[in-house]
Amino acid sequence: MNFDLPSLSRREFLSKSTLGAGLVLGAPSILKAKEAGAPADDIRVGFIGCGKQHEVLFNAMVNIPGIRYVAAADIMKDRLGRTFGAIKSRFDTNIKRYYDAEEMLEKEELDAVFVATPDFWHAPHTIMALEAGCHVYCEKMMSDTLEGARSMVAAMDRTGKLCQIGHQRRSNPRYLFTLEELIKKNKICGQIININGQWNRALSSSQDIAAKPDILPKADVLRKYGFNTGADHELSLEELRHRFLNWRFYKSLSGGPISDLGAHQIDIFNWYLGVQPTSLMASGGRSYFKDREHFDNVMCVFDYDTPEGNVRAFYQVLTTTSSGGGYYESFMGTEGTINISEREAFTKIYKESGTTDAVSDQWDKLVARGVLKKVAAGQAAGGADAIASYESAPPDEYSLPGGLSKQPHTNHIENFIASIRGKATLNCDARHALESEAPIYWVNPAAESKETIIFTDEHLHT
């Protein structure tokens, strides 16, 4: 294990690598990898970043065959030890441990790298790994800045390597089935007019993260790795460590709740509709966590022009309440509504009341074929306060015919590994991810300025 730290800072790296060549679109986006040898060959994997999200990814991939774990890099010794121990106990393999990702990439022969670092390191680490000849799986949000995300697409094109972004819902069988079978093929929603999405997280889940000081990196390490970026004064060790553990609260290190939580779901809006939004209105506030740089609650409305007509999509991310039904994306059409969520418990499908006999027949046939399951006929709430003339008859409730037998990230990683072997194409390569993520980068500016943004190619190009 080498404890020397490199002299290349993030800012220097960015200036020396692809930002200067951000508009160079050399090779076309290669979505299918060249053959990586015989299919039986193990994929040699390294990890950059060994925190909580890394643990989620590792636990999701332990049952995927044909992976050889080789090395991991993190600036925190304790995390490296945990990753080493987890791989050792599960696979009886001693991986190499590095404090520096660049050194790992120089010394190890890796086929693929998983990047699960803070958002402001995603672009540097991804580009570094792509240029070292590795395929990359990088967690969303692609970067803390739109420029950083664009530089990742450029690096993917330039190197010809695969770059999968961790919008894992795009490989989730439930989401794929809903899009392909229910929305596109059988059009059970009719014309989709509105979308409503949310992630409401309880106050108790939104508190500052703390850790024992003796396991945290020292001040010079944190400064070297950019955790003082954007600060207007010399940061104390305590302030640096707060930024290290709570980088999601700082504007120069992340995009805040709208990118942490909202990115997954607004990605679904754009993916399902197949178009980018035309405009954006947003509002946000530091209503509870007054000392945090980012908004603690954000609400926004996107407008879309689809071949079927105009669609408005509302999204909210709240960090002070978990009430209101959890997290889901709701596609509301003239004939039906699909509430889809990564959690099966939040997934519900409704047939509009008063639809034509033809529509009812279609839904009945879908149930008979096994495409849908009927849960319950709509039942009026009743009660003395019900005023019949105000209310529509309640819709019938349906559900998806099945669920997921794996962890939510497993299918997405399987897709990445299969693509490296040349047996699949990426479900969310960097270019497609950026097409979807680009509008999200404008939510915080729209909320700050309180002005509607009419999107142009300048805003949304990849």
Partner 1 sequence: MSSQENSCSNDLGLSLGMLSLRIWLGLRAIQTGLEKFAGIKKIEYVPVEIDGAPNVYELTRSIEVKAYGLSYYKGVPAALEDKFKAEPLIPDFFLAIYDKILGPSLLLLGITILLGIATRISLFAMGLVYTSLTIGLILIKQDAGVAWLGIHIIMVAMALVLAKHDKFAILNKW
| Residue ranges in contact with partner 1 by CB under 8 A | 173-174, 176-177, 180-181, 369-371, 400-405, 411
CB of 370 to partner 1, least distance (A): 4
Q: Which is nearer to partner 1, 426 or 460 (CB)?
A: 426
How far is Cα 32 from Cα 425, in angstroms, rounded to an integer? Answer: 5
Q: Which long-range contacts (CB under 8 A, 24 or more apart) does 226-230 make?
A: 226/9, 226/10, 226/11, 226/120, 226/121, 227/253, 229/10, 229/11, 229/120, 229/253
Nearer Cβ to partner 1, position 309 or 402?
A: 402
The CB-of-403 to partner 1 minimum distance in angstroms stands at 6
Nearer to partner 1, 34 or 365 (CB): 365
Closest approach of partner 1 to the CB of residue 113, in Å: 26
Q: Which strands make up the sheet holding 348-351, listed edge to edge?
A: 373-376, 396-399, 348-351, 336-340, 327-333, 192-200, 309-318, 297-306, 279-285, 453-454
Q: Are strands 327-333 and 309-318 parallel, antiparallel or unpaired?
A: unpaired
Distance of closest approach, residue 59 Cβ to partner 1, in angstroms:
18
Which amino acid makes up residue 199?
W
Cβ closest to partner 1, residue 59 vs residue 279:
59
Angle at the Cα of 309 (from 266 to 299), degrees rounded to 5?
30
- Amino acid identity, residue 324? G
Least distance in angstroms from the C-beta of 411 to partner 1: 7
Choose between 180 and 391: whose C-beta lies nearer to partner 1: 180
Nearest to 459 by CA among 232, 280, 225, 287: 280
Contact criterion met (CB below 8 Å) for 153 and 130: no
CA distance 97 to 46: 10
CB-based contact 366:391 (threshold 8 Å)? no
Q: Which of 90/369 has CB closer to partner 1?
A: 369
C-alpha–C-alpha distance, residues 349 and 398, integer Å: 5
CB of 368 to partner 1, least distance (A): 10
* Nearest residue (CB) to partner 1, 139 versus 414: 414
Shortest spacing between CB 332 and partner 1, in angstroms: 23
Task: Between 177 and 288, name the residue whose CB sits nearer to partner 1.
Answer: 177
> Measured from the CB of residue 37, what is the shortest distance to partner 1 in angstroms?
26
Written in H, E and C, the secondary structure of 262-318 is HHHHHHHHHHHHCCCCCEEEEEEECCCCCCCCCCCEEEEEEEEEECCEEEEEEEEEE
